[in-house]
Structure 1
Amino acid sequence: MPEARGDARTKMVEAAVVVLARSGYQGASFSAVLTESGAPRGSIYHHFPGGKDELVEAALELQTARVIAMLEAMHGIPPRQVAERFLEAWHRTLIGADFAAGCSLLAVATSAGPALQATAGRLFGDWMGALTRALTVGVPRRRGRRVRRRAAGGVRGRRRDLPGAAVDGRARRAAGPPRPGGGGAGRLTPAELS
Structure 2
Amino acid sequence: GFPDPILYGHLTDTLNGQIHVLLYILNDPDAPRFDVDRMPDGTATRFGTLRRNLEAEEAALEAGLAPGQVRRGLRLLPAAITAFESFVRSLGHDIYFVEPLYYHNAVIFENYGFGYQVGKKLMERIEAGFAEGSDLHAKLDDSTPFRRHDAEHSIRLRSWAIYDGLLGEPFTNVTMYKRIGQSAGINTRPSCAW
Q: Give the structure with the larger strand fraction.
A: 2
Q: Give the structure with the larger helix fraction.
A: 1
Of structures 1 and 2, the one scoring higher in RCO (CA 8 A, sep 6+) is 1
- Regarding TM over 0.5, the answer is no
In our comparison, the structure showing a higher alpha carbon Rg is 1
What TM-score, normalized to structure 1?
Answer: 0.24
What TM-score, normalized to structure 2?
Answer: 0.24
